[in-house]
Amino acid sequence: MAPIGSAHGGTTNHLTWLFARAAADGRVVMSVQGPLRLDPYSEPQPDLMLLRPRPDFYKSSHPTPADVQLLVELQPHFND
């Protein structure tokens, strides 16, 4: 996996800031670069996901596509 550049990291931070209120209100669980279980062999780590609330905050298992309300994967910048 390539290192995260400044523009990519800063954009992820900005999105996190924008969605923090929804997470603070308990409407979503915000996952920043956390795993998403697609199948036994595939667990990508999108830059940001808003997940359906769950009491254990996904401690017992990774989220699956059914749990995702919004997924963001940023594309790298050439100037990064």
pLDDT in tens, the chain (80 residues): 667 788 888 988 898 898 998 899 999 999 999 999 999 999 999 999 999 999 999 999 999 999 999 999 988 765 55
27 contacts: CB under 8 Å, gap ≥ 6 = 53
Q: Amino acid letter at 3?
A: P
- Specify the pLDDT at position 78: 54
Cα–Cα nearest to 67, from 43, 46, 48, 51: 51
Q: Which residue shows structure tokens 């808003």?
A: 50
39 SS3 class: strand
What's the predicted TM-score (pTM) here?
Answer: 0.80
Instruction: Output DSSP code: residue 61.
Output: S
Q: Which residue shows structure tokens 């910048």?
A: 77
- Specify the pLDDT at position 1: 60
Contact 32, 12 (CB under 8 A): yes
